[in-house]
Structure 1
């Protein structure tokens, strides 16, 4: 009576695993190195987190909506514009934009 063969050659098992990965399009990782595949396969959390919070309605968004002649005064925007005007009067405002390449500061510099 012959003894049943219970052990399979490890090289045959490795070849079977490699073939299985090729057929089912999974990554072949015989050494078990960390790849991060678990996190890459996981569902993205961003969309559900964005849906959790209601949309924020600001004064600027309300004024941009088409609702006729009704507008709300935006105190923060008015203060920002007043601060910009004050900085310009003191000479601390943003520089003027160049209309052409000859007007730019870089045109005068030589490398």
Structure 2
């Protein structure tokens, strides 16, 4: 004679719970979505970073080896342009040290 379905299902649930404890898997009797499949997977970031070659620019070389005297022409021109703009008064505005110095508080008065 077979066991009634309720007794059988409760024993199967207990067996499943015990199996999950032993093999360190998640116990999910209601089959809810947990995202465990994606958490078990390998991370994509390191694989993608290793796929693309590292490109070294002239400015990186100049920063790495300052004694070699390498000059990045584009960077030198950019710095010269910034300096010219500052002399003409077109540079970036100074940061406010106090709340009274800020332009926003001056406008609200």
CA distance in 2, matches of 1:65, 1:49: 25
1:82 to 80, 88, 104: 80
Partner of 1:9: 8
Structure 2 unaligned spans of 5+:
103-109
Deviations 1:57-86 (A, max 9, x none): 101112133385352x31221232123113
Partner of 2:52: 53
2:35 aligned with 1:42, yes or no?
A: no
Q: For this pair of structures, how many residues does the alignment match?
A: 101
CA distance in 2, matches of 1:12, 1:37: 25
Cα 1:76–1:97 change in 2 (3 A) is same
Cα 1:89–1:67 change in 2 (3 A) is closer
Structure 1 unaligned spans of 5+:
99-103
Cα 1:20–1:107 change in 2 (3 A) is farther
Preserved CA contact (<8 Å) 2:62 2:68: no
CA distance in 1, matches of 2:34, 2:22: 20
CA distance in 2, matches of 1:36, 1:78: 51
Partner of 2:106: none
Partner of 1:101: none
Aligned-residue Cα RMSD (Å) equals: 2.8
CA distance in 1, matches of 2:31, 2:17: 14
